[in-house]
Amino acid sequence: MVQSDVLERLRKVILEESSVEEVEDVARAVIESGVDINDAIHAATEAIRAVGDCFEAGDIYLPELMIAGRKMERCMAVLRPHIKASDSGVQGGRIVIGTVSGDIHDIGKNLVATMMAVRGFDIVDLGVNVPPLKFVHAAKDAGADIIALSSLMTTSLPYQQEVIDVLKELNMRDRFYVIVGGGPVTPEFARSIGADGWAENAAAAARLCEMLMASGIKPPVAETVIP
Ligand code: B12
């Protein structure tokens, strides 16, 4: 099968009615076809976002959103191990990552963590629904360089701000870079809360961490870095 066909099939099985097993089969076929892994992830991401748009428009309901979410999780479980380290210089550093309080979305966060790991960073993944203080304690205990906050909902966005506030209250803001991302997180929002960096996707997030680590600037940086 030609590569564009296999990507189209991947989009279809995530968007349309299909079983989790079918999605896994197509994801494996994508890998076997030799398609660039980033193109495959991009196609799957476009499809699941389209599902989100249908949900928002009221064209589908929660059970369908949940099935699509499960299919996307399994698709990513097949694709993620094939993400390769790029040939850029490995900077290294330790990153504490998680999805903030009130939010259980982790597909994007897991992709970001994987991309950071293949680029040579040590990752401490705190999972989902992580309270602000837990990020701070974990970063301190792990001797982290960077705290990475994921948020997929407008209602969980304020918790990104809260992590920065807690760091300031504990006089620890100069110990960690704080980077933010996720669907509703814009560069403007990142700037407004004084985050050190924002990135649009997993590859850019890993590049952002490399830029911060190489900058030699102590956190907080004067201007939010956007790769
Ligand atoms: C799949 C999905 C689910 C799945 C999640 C499965 C899982 N394991 O994550 C399930 C079904 C469980 C789910 C549940 C809910 N969901 Co939902 N979900 C989605 C959906 C369709 C896709 C999200 C996704 O996986 N995208 C694909 C990944 C690859 O992209 P991504 O997450 O954006 O991540 C990329 C970038 O953003 C970036 N990034 C991500 N994190 C970070 C972090 C850093 C530091 C950086 C630098 C970059 C970065 O890099 C990633 C990789 O490229 C979105 C729609 C959308 N447009 O996002 C709705 C969406 C997020 N959900 C929504 C809602 C409302 C809900 C529910 C409340 C539904 C309900 N009534 O119960 C619950 C939430 C419960 C809770 N408390 O969290 C709304 C949120 C609206 C809002 N308020 O903002 C959305 C936007 C749908 C919509 N349009 O209405 N959901």
Q: What is the pLDDT of residues 105-157, one digit of tens each?
A: 999 999 999 999 988 899 999 999 999 999 999 999 999 999 999 999 999 99
> What secondary structure does DSSP assign to 20-80, as a single string?
HHHHHHHHHHHHHHT--HHHHHHHHHHHHHHHHHHHHTTSS-HHHHHHHHHHHHHHHHHHG
Domain that holds residue 211: 94-215
**Token reading at 30:** 């994508």
In a domain? residue 223: no
pLDDT at residue 122, rounded to an integer: 94
Number of domains in the chain: 2
Shared-domain flag, residues 196 and 143: yes
Tell how far the Cα of 153 is from the centroid of ligand 1, in angstroms.
Answer: 7
Shared-domain flag, residues 22 and 130: no
Q: Considering the candidates 105, 125, 150, 151, report the single residue annotated as catalytic.
A: 105
Shared-domain flag, residues 187 and 113: yes
Residue 73 CB less than 6 A away from ligand 1? yes
The residue assigned the tokens 């649009």 is 200
**What proportion of the chain, given as a percentage, has pLDDT over 70?**
96
Q: What is the pLDDT of residues 48-98, one digit of tens each?
A: 999 999 999 999 999 999 999 999 999 999 999 998 866 455 568 999 999
In a domain? residue 88: no
Q: How far apart are CA 35 and CA 29, in angstroms?
A: 9
| Over residues 188-212, mean pLDDT | 96
Shared-domain flag, residues 106 and 211: yes
Shared-domain flag, residues 207 and 172: yes
Shared-domain flag, residues 166 and 142: yes
Looking up residue 125, the CATH number of its domain turns out to be: 3.40.50.280
Shared-domain flag, residues 130 and 197: yes
Q: Is the pTM of this model over 0.75?
A: yes
| Over residues 177-188, mean pLDDT | 98
Residue of minimum CA distance from atom 12 in ligand 1 = 66
How does residue 175 score in pLDDT terms, banded at 50, 70 and 90?
very high
- Is 102 a residue whose pLDDT tops 90? yes
Q: What is the pLDDT of residues 23-41, one digit of tens each?
A: 999 999 999 999 999 999 9
Shared-domain flag, residues 98 and 201: yes
Q: Considering the candidates 101, 150, 151, 156, report the single residue annotated as catalytic.
A: 156
In a domain? residue 222: no
